[in-house]
Structure 1
């Protein structure tokens, strides 16, 4: 009797497939078998690329003459620690009674690569039928759908080509560049760091680019010179309330384009700001010693200095719920809100996925597919068992706001490649008790973001006012929240319990972070004062209570946090904080959603970068700066974020069938050869001393 074989990436996933398929047969060593089916598993990678010495023992020694190393045929080998499981899988794949193989490894490039290597090394006959199972969650219905709709494995050949090329690219750049740079600069680095042992210089296509981003940012901060500037603020009386407006040197001002200005709302010198206040105060009471002025009116005395409203704009503003989470966005928010690393966030997201609680986490998409939108009712309804969001779920179901979601910006098939956004499945709630406190908070964050898209926009009333005091213009903008809309779900200002909750202190911090993330220059106010403002009209006169000079200074660039660095990697080296703009950026960025956390983790492990676990702030180490200077002096293009992103884009083109693997290989080998030959001709080791001394000054103990 012929059998079907299901091969998963991990034992835990294989168990879920066995449950979904009702395979309750005897559990063997490394597989589960029934009368008509077998389920087995890899344990991550079972096969790896061989080191150069496998091609020729002489290549174990690093020499200039053997570089560049560009094998015509790549060699692979079984990873010794998992050889037993490989042999079990190989035996099952080649068993005569197995006629159909269902490939159930993770639905992505790396999952494809894991199986293809096993298939290659096990020499599985092409006479067997091979099908690819592609799923977005590990719920039973999704597993069964994936099996039911499984396509021939050959439909994913382009993806397989891209997977092989990614590995070959990392292999060629890692081996050739690490060896040539170590041979060329290793002794000098050892001398500068006064190290007894000569360590290899570790470089890579993606990780070296990320190192460059962090080192450049650190050096921008060091070289930044703070510049003070001085603003003039007026205090204006409106009925029984005071509000503030800021001077700007717009056209018509005597300071318009004046050399006295640092920028339009600030003077370069303190004396200039004080003189302006003095000129505007005129024959009113004298200035205080600090240059400020107050009206100091006696009871019943009329104001001597008045401001005339020269312009007033009243409008409503809507703020839509944010797009759904992809992995990078989730990692950024978890770094910001909960101070956990991208690597930890990915592990938690993977745990939630394996417990059937959320959909596939390694995704770049922030929208849903049309097909999922049609069934989204199930995801929402399943969350009724979650105490913290039960009221929101009931409201969504009662009002039916999910019914038209397919017509919104949250559903877009063209923005999805492999997987849609990370959302709760509505299942697996029984696993809540087994989650750590942090994992529960991450799950709650995903749930709230998901439910928020079924709520209307938050509505604000905004009023922008311009007043003139003796011909000079002062500006203010006031804003009040009129309808909370989706903020009812995402608001962090209410202490809560259960999933996603923390202490009152933590919730207050969440609110602070949320407010800071809402990049607005408007001054939030209350409904009572807004009513006063709404009654104001152009030409009205307002008493000026005071004028003060406020000193400010320019701020240096911010250091990357682990989360903001992940976002910068996603956006090809640009830290784009505006969510709407990020959504419009096309391209694969640096690395992939599946690898970015791992790359950052490696840079920390090899001590090129330092990650503060409490703040999640990332800084370079002295060693990291030295390696940066080595690369900058030799293979500078490795530090180019746009170029690194273009390599990733090229792999995407291969996966989409737009270019062939042969075309990509020619470009890859040409690049490696040119860079290696270029380094051989250099004679600039001594130049590193100056760079080292400059950096070392910042690492004195």
Structure 2
């Protein structure tokens, strides 16, 4: 009997064939869709070969959109072969059912979507499960060593039945919400929207994840529009060598004063000037040292990359989209350079930690970081990594963090500039965790001066000034990760001599003040999302939820998954609901996107809620883990779809909703006028 290996893509099949020592593995097409020798057959899908059937396949009458035919909830879902992939499906189907194939190794991507791809093929091929020994290969990289380990340790496919159930339910959920809600909202509002915008046709496309992300972007844009900047005025004392900032304390005459913007600034410049007058009233003008605090602060290396963190950094550093980042790291994965990219974990597994010396050792041949890899190997500190925060089996679901394999370095020559840069930051982040923390020496000063004044019911007060100094004592991991600019502007970086001078100050010392200055500031609006920060916001959707109990319930669940978040952004751009600036990667809504938002806000409002979307994702994770049954989830899902579809059918607000559109329209008229002026 022969073993059949079925991969997700031809390129992956080639790697399996090579690892298995098959001739012709480099071309992997010698038999038109598969490779074979005396005891092994290797074949592949081309991504998805099967898709869910449209409603008209169930009943031709369902092709016409009508309120009479929704909600549409199939009792049994129908699937069909994708036309463009039919030839390869027939090849795979025939191989799966060959009598001389006794064991099937499922080698599709190790995750929910990869599981779904194979299960659909098996279902449509009508495989007699009683006659086949089905095994699941679960790997974290495409190195020969990892492929052979995955084959050796392959579990029975039935061990992944819960994951399969979650995959089917995710697809069914997106199908039901997309079909029913898009039809319901289009039937109710498309005529109104089409006429308002002067469009030929308008389909209101909504979805479980897509609409929630649109909501995040529109809400942020409206917060920015509604933001009114507030000026504030800070008082600074300039002495020889440094500045100190005034803040209220319990002894201040201005404590809890309505004149304050917050503890370190006034609402009006006149109040700041009054304080300076009071501080300058008596000679000599000096500040008395009340407290000197010296300490060493350590900054540990950051956690390893998961896909969301990597997408955010690539958006920020290289101005590439999340989709481009995923495609880039997927290429690195397929060339054996890094581990599996579609991961949410930022830690390593205990098993991988035991063998991590191989990854580090391989990087000794990567010239830009060779000296660091050699140093780590010589020191041997990596041997204790299993006891660090960078290793935690409980924080890993499908895969551990993205790290370099230490192999495939010969493939670097064939990479483009961005691919090499992405590989480099992954390698630097990885090696960083084997270096010591960066150490800073810090000195904090508290200085004071008495004033004689009347503020409200208070007479006189002790006004305090604060100054912080910082020096990098030991760069530690920053040596390899690169020195980052310090965002804390209040920490004044000084030389060793200057720092020692201020550290030598004692309580009671008097420091002459050269001048008191007023520094005007202004509150800032929220920042627009970039493609990277949007990915992070989707990953950490629970933080958007105000209700603490609900936030804790869905902790660890985000909007979408690491494998799908980039495609959600792409779909919103394709639908012209949002705009993505390719140069800056800044994301903004379009006028149509804001209209769709208002439509949802006044019909199926929960589609816009992060808590709803994240709770569905949490439920799917529960199904995959076996804590929620397939039937329980299905019942909840069907009820949600039916209730909301029927609710939309009862709405009678489509004529009034244009008033909401009118509120937004001026912002896009202004933008259009600016563009026209630039062109002229």
With the shorter chain as reference, the TM-score category is over 0.9
Compute the displacement of 1:573 (Å). 5.6
In structure 2, distance between residues paired with 1:48 and 1:671 = 23
Compared with structure 1, are the counterparts of its residues 625 and 573 closer, same or farther at alpha carbon in structure 2 (3 Å cutoff)?
farther
In structure 1, distance between residues paired with 2:518 and 2:72 = 66
Structure 2 stretches of 5 or more lacking a match?
451-461, 546-550, 673-680
Compute the displacement of 1:476 (Å). 1.4
Which of 535, 554, 569 lines up with 2:523 in the alignment? 554
* 2:506 paired residue number: 537
Does structure 1 retain, via aligned residues, the 8 Å contact 2:467–2:490?
no
Does structure 2 retain, via aligned residues, the 8 Å contact 1:339–1:613?
yes
The alignment status of 1:91 with 2:89, answered yes or no, reads: no
Does structure 2 retain, via aligned residues, the 8 Å contact 1:336–1:563?
yes
The alignment status of 1:477 with 2:468, answered yes or no, reads: yes
The alignment status of 1:392 with 2:358, answered yes or no, reads: no
Which of 106, 111, 116 lines up with 1:113 in the alignment? 116
Compute the displacement of 1:525 (Å). 2.7
* 1:250 paired residue number: 249
Give the secondary-structure state (helix, strand or coil) at the position aligned to 2:543.
coil
Compute the displacement of 1:687 (Å). 2.7
In structure 2, distance between residues paired with 1:178 and 1:247 = 57
Query: Which runs of structure 2 are paired with 1:491-530 in the superposition (5 Å)?
Result: 491-492=482-483, 511-512=484-485, 515-516=486-487, 521-530=490-499
- CA offset digits 1:543-569 (Å, max 9, x no partner): 101110011111111111111110010
Does structure 1 retain, via aligned residues, the 8 Å contact 2:49–2:121?
yes
* 1:156 paired residue number: 160
- CA offset digits 1:414-433 (Å, max 9, x no partner): 11111000000000100111
Query: Which runs of structure 2 are paired with 1:462-473 in the superposition (5 Å)?
Result: 462-470=442-450, 471-473=462-464
Does structure 2 retain, via aligned residues, the 8 Å contact 1:564–1:575?
no
* 1:78 paired residue number: 81
- CA offset digits 1:502-550 (Å, max 9, x no partner): xxxxxxxxx45xx44xx68533333221111111111111110111001
In structure 2, distance between residues paired with 1:531 and 1:605 = 59
Query: Which runs of structure 2 are paired with 1:209-608 in the superposition (5 Å)?
Result: 209-237=212-240, 242-282=241-281, 304-470=284-450, 471-492=462-483, 511-512=484-485, 515-516=486-487, 521-572=490-541, 574=543, 586-608=555-577
Compared with structure 1, are the counterparts of its residues 166 and 584 closer, same or farther at alpha carbon in structure 2 (3 Å cutoff)?
closer
Compute the displacement of 1:586 (Å). 3.3
- CA offset digits 1:256-275 (Å, max 9, x no partner): 11111111111111111111
In structure 2, distance between residues paired with 1:395 and 1:430 = 22
- CA offset digits 1:179-220 (Å, max 9, x no partner): 00000000111111121x122101000010000000000000
The alignment status of 1:10 with 2:1, answered yes or no, reads: no
Query: Which runs of structure 2 are paired with 1:197-208 in the superposition (5 Å)?
Result: 197-208=200-211
In structure 1, distance between residues paired with 2:585 and 2:238 = 40
Q: Which ranges of 4 or more aligned residues in structure 1 deviate by more than 4 Å? A: 582-585
In structure 1, distance between residues paired with 2:375 and 2:664 = 58
In structure 2, distance between residues paired with 1:644 and 1:476 = 45
Which of 54, 61, 77 lines up with 1:58 in the alignment? 61
Compute the displacement of 1:574 (Å). 3.5
* 2:624 paired residue number: 655
Q: State the superposition RMSD in angstroms.
A: 1.6
In structure 1, distance between residues paired with 2:493 and 2:272 = 27
Compute the displacement of 1:437 (Å). 0.3
Give the secondary-structure state (helix, strand or coil) at the position aligned to 1:32.
strand
Does structure 1 retain, via aligned residues, the 8 Å contact 2:19–2:144?
yes
In structure 1, distance between residues paired with 2:543 and 2:221 = 15
In structure 2, distance between residues paired with 1:528 and 1:452 = 30
In structure 2, distance between residues paired with 1:543 and 1:520 = 23
In structure 2, distance between residues paired with 1:224 and 1:573 = 24
Compared with structure 1, are the counterparts of its residues 642 and 451 closer, same or farther at alpha carbon in structure 2 (3 Å cutoff)?
same
Count matched residues.
Answer: 649
In structure 1, distance between residues paired with 2:506 and 2:57 = 83
In structure 1, distance between residues paired with 2:495 and 2:313 = 29
Compared with structure 1, are the counterparts of its residues 628 and 650 closer, same or farther at alpha carbon in structure 2 (3 Å cutoff)?
same
In structure 2, distance between residues paired with 1:255 and 1:222 = 33
In structure 1, distance between residues paired with 2:292 and 2:500 = 14
Compute the displacement of 1:583 (Å). 14
* 1:631 paired residue number: 600
The alignment status of 1:616 with 2:585, answered yes or no, reads: yes
Compute the displacement of 1:469 (Å). 2.2
- CA offset digits 1:586-621 (Å, max 9, x no partner): 322110000001111111111101111111110000
* 1:45 paired residue number: 48
Structure 1 stretches of 5 or more lacking a match?
285-303, 493-510, 577-581
In structure 2, distance between residues paired with 1:665 and 1:413 = 30
